[in-house]
Amino acid sequence: MKITDRIAIALGVVDIGYVAWTIFGTVKIGATAHSMSQNVANVGLPFPGLVVAIVFLAYLLMAACGLALILRRRRLAWLNYVLLPLRLVLVLPTLYPVIALLAAAGMVLPPLATYIVIVITEIARCVFIYFWRREGSTPLTRTLPRRPIMVKK
């Protein structure tokens, strides 16, 4: 197995782990879609039901991307590109475990610096996925020998 495949699997494991951790935390505190919608409304965002639906969609896509990466399904790499804007708008970083560990250790970056790191790592993730996908695709080759073209006189 190539190192790029191992990195793709690791990215998939991180995504699945992040989704599982979020689901576990949500169930642990007893949150429901209605309570999440109320929280969104309390923050002042418009259309709280739509925002919660988009968040659910983002987590569903993250789980699908993670599973596709673990199974090394290069055909589904496009899901990562669709997920990029959602990750950036909803601040769902790939490296969330690293950010959480740094925060637990007392090393907290300023919010703007944190967001810049998130943008850089998410773009790097998509670039990696792009080249990983291309690495696995092989160009079609002719299996039949070429015949000379007959020219009529």
Q: What is the pLDDT along the chain (153 residues), one digit of tens a residue?
A: 899 999 999 999 999 999 998 888 888 888 887 888 888 888 888 888 888 889 899 999 999 999 999 999 999 999 999 999 999 988 888 888 888 888 889 888 888 988 998 999 999 999 999 999 998 765 444 445 566 666 666
Residue 74, pLDDT score: 92
What is the value of pTM for the model shown? 0.78
Torsion of CA 3, 5, 7, 11, to 10 degrees: 180
Rounding to the nearest 10 degrees, give the CA dihedral for residues 74, 135, 97, 99: -130
> What pLDDT was estimated at residue 112?
92
The conformation of residue 144, written as its DSSP 8-state character, comes to S
pLDDT given at position 61 = 93
Rounded to whole angstroms, the Cα distance separating 25 from 5 reads 30
Residue 3 burial by Cβ neighbours in a 10 Å radius (0-12, 13-18, 19+)? exposed
